[in-house]
Amino acid sequence: MSPFVYSNHVVAAIEAEDGQIFTGFCFEATAGVFHLCAERAAAFNMYQESGQTRIRRIIAFRDKPPYGDGSGMPCGACREFLIQLNSENTKTEFLQDYESRTSVTLGELMPYWWGKERAEK
């Protein structure tokens, strides 16, 4: 591996609307021009391979399964990308705690999304 690349420290799996599973991992390069979170990488793979934009569920792991609080939550860039990909993704569930199987929706994470009116046109 290159000393300029940091990757695989976060992995994600998403379930597309049709039930297919797509995966991705975090990839960062020191040049700063290519930083891609695991969630966006999985969504990109989904779109590239199937053309789908609607996501049912997402789980992301760092060093262990999500364990509550913000451990499995997407960053702001991922939240924004996923909701722009398809405004119906407000219903996408993120596994919040693996042990209790609790989840939270993207809509709950972004209750006042700035692009709602634009997306509804």
What confidence tens digit (pLDDT) does each residue in 51-92 have?
A: 999 999 999 998 888 998 888 899 999 999 999 999 999 999
- Residue 64 pLDDT: 87
Alpha-carbon distance 13 to 15, whole Å? 7
Tell me which of 30 and 5 has the higher pLDDT: 5
- Given pLDDT bands bounded at 50, 70 and 90, which one contains residue 40? very high
Q: Give domain limits for the chain.
A: 5-120
pLDDT at 5 > cutoff 70: yes
Alpha-carbon distance 108 to 32, whole Å? 30
pTM of the model: 0.89
Q: Using the Cα atoms of residue 15, residue 28, residue 10 and residue 87 in order, give the sign of their dihedral.
A: negative
Give the contacts of 7 (CB within 8 A, at least 6 positions apart).
1, 25, 26, 27, 28
- Residue 28 pLDDT: 82
Q: What is the CATH number of domain 5-120?
A: 3.40.140.10
Describe the strand order of the beta sheet including 35-36 as a list of residue ranges: 35-36, 21-29, 5-16, 55-61, 93-97, 102-105
